[in-house]
Amino acid sequence: MQAGDIMVKDVPAVGPEATMPEVAQAMLAGKTSHVLITDKDGRLLGLMSGYDLRRAVAEGRLDSTAGELMTPRDKLYTAEPETPLAAVAETLTRLKLTQMPVVQEEKPVGYLNLDTILNYTSGELSKFRQASLILETMREGLLVVDREFRIQEVNPAALQFFDLMAEEILGRDYRLFFGYNQPIGEVLEKGEALINVEVEDEKGRVFLTNTVPVSYDSALIGVIQTFTDISQRKAIQRQLLKTTEELDKAFALTLPNSRVEYKLKNTPEYRDIFLPDEGLIEITEIINDGGYVHVVNALKVTADLNDKGIMALPGIDKDILVQALIFHDVGKSQPLLKIGQIVDPDKVFEDSKKHAERSAEIVRHSYGRPDDVVTLIRYHHHKQDELPDDFPRYLLPMWRLVKIIDGLSAAITRRQAKIGVSVNGTRLIIVESNAHPTYNRTMEIDLYTGRKFVYTEEQTESV
Ligand SMILES: [Fe+2]
Ligand SMILES: [Fe+2]
């Protein structure tokens, strides 16, 4: 909505030589409390209000002319027919004025007064004004742009983000100030909302924007955009990603050679859901470098346990443990499955003991690792009662630890579980929290005796 749309067009005007009785007559005839003073070509020279007239009478200046008593042009606030009504209302309210002439090429073409504007309750202006009143206090920036790309409304938070003044941007093309802001243009063009779009400004700041179309009488009249500065959040995110990359690189250095890295990075792991009625699983996601991620996660858990003091236990050797974890699945062969495929896990996946055996042989033969490493790998999928009689007893605590870390890493890798560990003497306490609460559990295991307690939501204890 623009000034020209609702301005009063019959504005009484007199010349600068008009006397006070002539000014009063013009006001009476036009039923207004203002008279414009124009030159002979119709250009605006000034304005006389009813107040100016009363003062002239009170001061006995009845012989003065309109030109002498008027408020001159250079002290008048005026609008143009294209000035947005919101900008006029803002200026009138801020300067405590009640009226504003509308001029075109310096000739008055109309007249606006505050009452008319405030009483103008139909149309988008009232909507915009209401919205802005409500949203003035919010911390998110708010921008209202009409179909001609002009800024119709802006809230204090938005001005603060960009260090702008309302006067300098209202009614102007938003692209001059927010040129990078693609969603506005797209929503104006397509009329569909764009939610949670990240936009970067020329200073490199990142804003999260929500842009929705505004319709009136089923026609698109503009868009409302709210936005918030997420630069700090983004910076932390980037830092975290960098840290993860650095960790990965550091891990790659611990790998014996590029062939092991290649093998791990090309062994997929699958996320699935169990279909209890059929005893089958449905593949929901493929982690292409799952073998690699699994080993990295296992080493992260190990680093955490190292922090908590587990390596100080007699019978636990950090180097042996790390070697066993790096190589434990190197001989694993995975089937190639697709998302959505429903399979019988017992049929498609190779028996785990087979890849354990294969990994152990590869490590022994090609990498010449210590016997303890080979043994831990060979039996990492056995249960305790399946271990051979000659299994070295001193390796049992570390064998239990390898199995625990392997299981935790699998939970992190395949179920996106969160793990908390603490060490209490020879006991390890593990809290596992999953996206699906039925998997949530607290496990306590004594590495020396193998005694295990599991606490789940339904079950308080099982030994
Ligand atoms: Fe394995
Ligand atoms: Fe594994």
Question: pLDDT 10s per residue in the chain (463 long)?
Answer: 788 888 888 778 899 999 888 888 888 887 777 889 999 998 999 998 888 888 888 888 878 899 998 999 998 889 999 988 778 877 877 777 778 889 998 899 988 877 777 666 445 555 555 555 566 667 888 888 998 899 988 888 888 888 888 888 888 998 888 876 779 999 999 989 999 999 988 888 889 999 999 887 778 889 999 899 898 888 888 888 787 777 777 776 677 777 888 888 999 999 988 888 888 999 999 999 999 999 999 998 998 899 888 999 999 999 999 999 999 999 999 999 999 999 999 999 999 999 999 999 999 998 888 999 999 999 999 999 999 999 999 999 999 999 999 999 999 988 888 888 899 889 999 998 887 777 788 889 999 999 988 887 655 444 3
Fold category of 124-229 in CATH: Beta-Lactamase (3.30.450)
The answer to whether residues 113 and 88 touch, using CB atoms and an 8 Å cutoff, is: no
Q: Which ligand is nearest to the CA of 380?
A: 1
Q: Which ligand is nearest to the CA of 352?
A: 1
Residue range(s) occupied by CATH 3.10.580.10 in the chain: 3-119
Specify the DSSP class assigned to residue 112: E
Residue range(s) occupied by CATH 3.30.450.20 in the chain: 124-229
Q: What is the pTM of this model?
A: 0.52
Query: How many A from CA of 298 to the centre of ligand 2?
Result: 8
The answer to whether residues 381 and 331 touch, using CB atoms and an 8 Å cutoff, is: no
CA distance linking residue 94 with residue 76, whole number of Å: 15
- The gap from C-alpha 191 to its chain's centroid, in whole angstroms, comes to 22
Query: How many A from CA of 438 to the centre of ligand 2?
Result: 22
Task: Report the DSSP pairing between strands 99-104 and 107-113.
Answer: antiparallel
Specify the DSSP class assigned to residue 350: P
Contacts (Cβ under 8 Å, ≥6 apart) of 278 = 342
pLDDT of residue 402: 97
The answer to whether residues 22 and 12 touch, using CB atoms and an 8 Å cutoff, is: no
Q: Quick one: tokens of 448?
A: 């020396």
Q: Quick one: tokens of 93?
A: 């309210």
Q: Reduce the DSSP state of residue 2 to 3 states and report it.
A: strand
Query: How many A from CA of 287 to the centre of ligand 1?
Result: 16
Determine how many CB atoms are found less than 10 A away from the CB of residue 72: 12
Q: Which ligand is nearest to the CA of 334?
A: 1
* Of 293, 281, 416, 415, the residue nearest 338 (C-alpha): 281
CA distance linking residue 148 with residue 81, whole number of Å: 15
Query: How many A from CA of 136 to the centre of ligand 1?
Result: 59
C-alpha neighbours within 13 Å on the C-beta side of residue 378: 18
Which residues are 420's β-sheet partners? 431
Contacts (Cβ under 8 Å, ≥6 apart) of 41 = 107
Specify the DSSP class assigned to residue 259: H
Q: Which ligand is nearest to the CA of 355?
A: 1
The residue type at 372: D
Q: Which ligand is nearest to the CA of 353?
A: 1
pLDDT of residue 366: 87
CA distance linking residue 190 with residue 175, whole number of Å: 18
Q: Which ligand is nearest to the CA of 379?
A: 1
Q: Which ligand is nearest to the CA of 377?
A: 1
C-alpha neighbours within 13 Å on the C-beta side of residue 433: 4
Residues 93-130: b if buried by 16+ CB within 10 A, e if exposed? eeeeeebbbbbeeeebbbbbbbeebeebeeebbebbbe
Which residues are 419's β-sheet partners? 432
Query: How many A from CA of 327 to the centre of ligand 2?
Result: 9
Query: How many A from CA of 210 to the centre of ligand 2?
Result: 44
Fold category of 3-119 in CATH: CBS-domain (3.10.580)
pLDDT of residue 122: 46
Phi–psi pair at 77, nearest 5 degrees: -90, 130
